[in-house]
Structure 1
């Protein structure tokens, strides 16, 4: 398994297939993708998991963390998230946050993230904002 930086366009297929299969493909292309850092996890040259990161000031928001269905439950997204957390620490950032699907909240809590109780619905999915703060 190898994690490396990728182009935004390389994330779109997994975003669509895993997160928003019922939406048009264009739905997963974000205007802000061009400002982000995008990382992929590869197994034998096959892209299997992705995440996009956006740094503003001393905060990092990660978005669109997704792993192909056949690779889920194997700790791959956890490794990708550890990579993102290390990146944020290396850059001296004070906060990491995400818009988590409410049914995935427990996954993010394993990384010390707390629910802010700020909830919203997007395209029929319920989300909550999760964050972790560092001194």
Structure 2
């Protein structure tokens, strides 16, 4: 298992994966995308979307079916969380499906009530898009 950081050469593969699971596409301009490999094959991906110099969102976590059950998602999210901590961001958001709450809590994420806390408008818009777009409940978490 290894984590590699995506380049423009990976963008077509990345967006093919995101299209399969109906996630928003990536563009790399304000993102850092991690690709998890297993036995030198691309096995999954996740991204940090930099909202501004102080805030980011970790998302787009997806492990290909053939590689599930071997803790690759954990390694992937752990790498993304460490990257955000190394960047000294003031706020890191995550918008996972509700059934993934306990998984993200392992990394220190906590649910936030955006009605009682100021949240970046870009994140709020994406959160509402997710609520309208997916049949599953989506959470708004912060690190």
The TM-score by the shorter chain falls in which range? 0.7 to 0.9
Selected match of 1:104 from 100, 103, 118: 100
Which sits farther off after the overlay, 93-102 or 118-127? Answer: 118-127
TM-score scaled to structure 2, two decimals?
Answer: 0.75
**1:10 matched residue in structure 2:** 13
For 1:82-121, list aligned pairs within 5 A.
82-117=78-113, 120=128, 121=131
SS of residue matched to 1:125:
coil
Offset, 1:117: 4.3
Count of residue pairs the alignment pairs up: 124
More strand per residue: 1 or 2? 1
Matches within 5 A, 1:1-135: 1-7=1-7, 8-17=11-20, 19-20=21-22, 28-30=24-26, 33-55=28-50, 56-117=52-113, 120=128, 121=131, 122-132=133-143
CA contact (8 A) 1:11 1:51 kept: no
Shift of 1:34: 3.0
**Structure 1 residues not aligned, in runs of 5+:** 21-26
Paired with 2:138 and 2:113, the residues of 1 have a C-alpha distance of: 10
**TM score, norm. by length of structure 1:** 0.78
